[in-house]
Amino acid sequence: MDNLDREIVARNNREFWKIINTLSLLMIFIIAYFFILMQVSGLIAADTAFHIAYMDKFFNHEIYIPHPLWHVCTYYLSHFLKVDYGIAASIFTAFIITLYAMIIYKIAKRLDDSQENEAKWYLITFVALTIGPFFWLNYYAKIYMGPGSPSVWHNVTLLTVKPLALLSVFYTIRFFAFTQYRYFFWAAAITLLSIFAKPSYIIIFLPALVVYMLFKKYFDKRQLWFASTIILFSLAALVYQYTHEFGKGNGSSIIFDFLGVWSIYTPSVTASVLMALGLPLLITLFNIRSIAQNEYIKFTWLLVFFAFILFACFAEGGERYMDGNFSWSWHLSLSLIYVFTTIEYFKQYYVMPPGVRYTLLGIMLYQLYVGWYFLVEMINGVAYNSSYDSFPFFFG
């Protein structure tokens, strides 16, 4: 086969995968649209209907929402398209989920050294978008509660912050690698915007950023200016949110409560952490040399560490204690570490010994099955916090 033939084959391959990716994104959007519409209609247990109910009160200045990005976008989309809030919520959230899938694909492509490997990037996107935690029915009959999950589908504000958080990590590391102003701008703008989607990301990003810079000894003038910009604007926004959320005599507050909330939802926090993080931890340990050069994974592990500290040590006092609102950072950090370690796994796939490679693949496929089972059961009306009596093909 000469060079011209190879170029024709490569071009045809690219065109084929463009069609596959376009159809896949369309399928994701359609499924997500009807999934959120079912949440709006009360057919699926979720927070969506509550957030929709907040919108008019928010725009009439009757209540304060500290993270109104989803509400604002849904509200104006509803008026622009002249549709009700439920339809607008379904369209906007489906767009966010589809955007998240696109970002995973683009980042996987950017971080992969091999060329023209669309099938791999497609597989990475599919896995990272839907994978669930490790689940053992005989230990604890709830999939999501306790360990948390890299794939959470019932909270629209978490879905809104996910693409922003992923882009924030990507552009932050790109900035430190190249110190170019375009990465400065995108990292800072996206990170600050994430505060208004859900502050669960910025409260783990800030300490991770400081620790990362200290470890790497990033004290260059431009690097310090980058950190100062994000820290100062973030702290100002967080102080404003805190005083308006907790400073109005509503009986709610932030309290120190070591493992208090987390222990309510699991027989063992330690076991739950291992069930949630086992796969990315094993991928990290078995690829320690390549991961030592992977700044995205190192930074994301810092996010996981601070998310663990946050969920383990703090809670909201008052009537919202049982809500476990400090767990959102934990769920978000899981989604990020799964994205980057999944990319690394497939990059190193043929470098790993066969026994390690196939063991990790088996665990990944099992957790992918858990993630899809969890999603399909929600579509069938099973609440995200429900217990399971059986688990087809594995237990019971």
Between residues 242 and 47, which one has the greater pLDDT? Answer: 47
Between residues 62 and 206, which one has the greater pLDDT? Answer: 206
Q: What is the pLDDT of residue 64?
A: 87
Tell me whether residue 144 is in a domain.
yes
Tell whether pTM > 0.85.
yes
Phi, psi dihedral angles at 27 (to 5 degrees): -65, -45
Tell me whether residue 390 is in a domain.
no
* Residues 244-257: tens digit of each pLDDT: 777 655 556 788 88
Using DSSP, state whether 253 is helix, strand or coil: strand
* Residues 287-330: tens digit of each pLDDT: 999 999 999 999 999 999 999 999 999 888 777 777 778 899 99
Phi, psi dihedral angles at 314 (to 5 degrees): -130, 155
- Residues 227-237 have a mean pLDDT of 95
Indicate the residue type of 6: R
Q: What is the pLDDT of residue 182?
A: 94
Using DSSP, state whether 314 is helix, strand or coil: strand
Using DSSP, state whether 35 is helix, strand or coil: helix
- Residues 113-133 have a mean pLDDT of 87
Neighbours of 51 (CB within 10 A): 23
* Residues 204-220: tens digit of each pLDDT: 999 999 999 999 999 99
What range does the domain containing 142 cover? Answer: 3-379
Residue listed under structure tokens 């604007």: 233
CA angle, residues 384, 137, 100, in degrees to nearest 5 = 40
Rounded to 10 deg, the angle between the 295-313 and 202-216 helix axes is 130
- Residues 220-230 have a mean pLDDT of 94
Residue listed under structure tokens 């955007």: 99
DSSP label of 316: E
Q: What is the pLDDT of residue 323?
A: 74
Tell me whether residue 58 is in a domain.
yes
Tell me whether residue 392 is in a domain.
no
Q: How far, in Å, CA of 311 to CA of 132, rounded?
A: 19
- pLDDT level of residue 364 (50, 70, 90 thresholds): very high
- Residues 133-157 have a mean pLDDT of 93
For the chain, the straight-line distance linking the first and the last C-alpha, in angstroms and rounded, comes to 54
Q: How far, in Å, CA of 263 to CA of 256, rounded?
A: 14
Question: Residue 316 in contact with residue 326, Cβ under 8 Å?
Answer: yes
136: pLDDT strictly greater than 80: yes
Q: What is the pLDDT of residue 61?
A: 87
Q: What is the pLDDT of residue 393?
A: 80
Report percent pLDDT > 70 for the chain: 94
Tell me whether residue 394 is in a domain.
no
- pLDDT level of residue 133 (50, 70, 90 thresholds): very high
Q: Where are the alpha helices (H) located in 247-327, listed in sequence order?
A: 260-264, 269-286, 288-291, 295-313
Number of domain units in the chain: 1
* Residues 155-189: tens digit of each pLDDT: 999 999 999 999 999 999 999 999 899 999 999 99
Tell me whether residue 347 is in a domain.
yes
Of 87-91, 147-151, 248-252, 324-328, the range with the lowest mean pLDDT is 248-252
- Residues 54-80 have a mean pLDDT of 92
CA–CA distances in Å: residue 66 to residues 131, 197, 217, 237, 385: 29, 9, 34, 9, 25
Tell me whether residue 357 is in a domain.
yes
Tell me whether residue 279 is in a domain.
yes
Q: What is the pLDDT of residue 49?
A: 93
Indicate the residue type of 45: A
Chain mean pLDDT for the chain: 91
Q: Where are the alpha helices (H) located in the chain, listed in sequence order?
A: 3-40, 48-59, 69-81, 85-111, 118-130, 156-178, 181-194, 202-216, 221-246, 260-264, 269-286, 288-291, 295-313, 328-347, 354-379
Q: How far, in Å, CA of 176 to CA of 193, rounded?
A: 20
76: pLDDT strictly greater than 90: yes
Residue listed under structure tokens 């998310």: 307
